[in-house]
């Protein structure tokens, strides 16, 4: 549980900003047939969906089923992430999912996705494609970032807010220690003199 929150914090402060749109499509190996999926195959698809959701919590995943295919949409808009090897990790996860589905006798899967990854130095446009059980990505365009990037500005804002909160906590602890007397009732109450 603690690792989950630590990873969320690391991603929030993250060194990259991700925008991604894509989908994993699962259909019948015979494209002319309607999708007929067994209970075991349905559990395998749910396991893949849950695995992707657990491994990439910053991605919004949505599963839709119709008579022809199951579509797992992947979406992220300007999400900050800490994973420096994100593209390779996503490629590995999607390749494992496609290979698992393609091992079935009746189902096949394919992946298409594209997006933008921005760090403090570079903006990279990328695309993911699959063929058979292979999933690969290609960086289609790389643009150097001039001046402070949005990632650098975001990190400075997060660190600035954290410093302000730490300073407020230290100040409040100092006030509690310096100005509030100990809890001796004789010192807390002042004596009232009757005239």
pLDDT tens-digit profile of 125-138?
Answer: 999 999 888 999 99
* 3-class secondary structure per residue, the chain: CHHHHHHHHHHHHCCEEEEEEEEEEEEECCCCCCCCCCHHHHHHHHHHHHHHHHHCCCCEEEEEECCCEEEEEEEEEEEEECCCCHHHHHHHHHHHHHHHHHCCCCEEEEEEEEEEEECCCEEEEEEEEEECCEEEEEEEEEEECCCCCHHHHHHHHHHHHHHHHHHHHHHHHHHHHHHCCCCCHHHHCCCCCCC
List, in sequence order, every residue forming a beta bridge with 81; answer none if it has no partner.
Answer: 16
In this prediction, residue 1 carries a pLDDT of 61
pTM score: 0.77
Residues in the chain where the model's pLDDT stays below 50: none
In this prediction, residue 136 carries a pLDDT of 93
In this prediction, residue 185 carries a pLDDT of 57
């Amino acid at each position: 549980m603690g690792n989950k929150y630590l990873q969320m914090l690391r991603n929030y402060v993250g060194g990259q900003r991700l925008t991604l749109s894509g989908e994993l499509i699962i259909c019948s190996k015979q494209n002319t047939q309607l999708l007929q999926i067994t209970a075991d195959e349905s559990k395998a698809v749910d396991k893949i969906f849950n695995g992707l959701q657990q491994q990439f919590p910053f991605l919004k995943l949505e599963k839709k089923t119709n008579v022809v295919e199951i579509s797992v949409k992947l979406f992220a808009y300007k999400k900050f992430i800490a994973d420096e090897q994100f593209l390779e990790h996503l490629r590995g996860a999607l390749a494992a999912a496609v290979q698992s589905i393609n091992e079935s006798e009746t189902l096949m899967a394919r992946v298409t996705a594209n997006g933008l990854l921005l760090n403090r130095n570079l903006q990279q446009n990328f695309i993911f494609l699959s063929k058979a059980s292979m999933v690969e990505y290609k960086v289609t365009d790389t643009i150097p970032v001039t001046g402070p990037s949005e990632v650098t500005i975001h990190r400075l804002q997060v660190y600035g807010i954290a410093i302000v909160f730490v300073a407020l906590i230290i100040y409040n602890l100092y006030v509690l220690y310096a100005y509030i007397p100990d809890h001796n009732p004789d010192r807390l109450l002042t004596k009232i003199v009757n005239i």
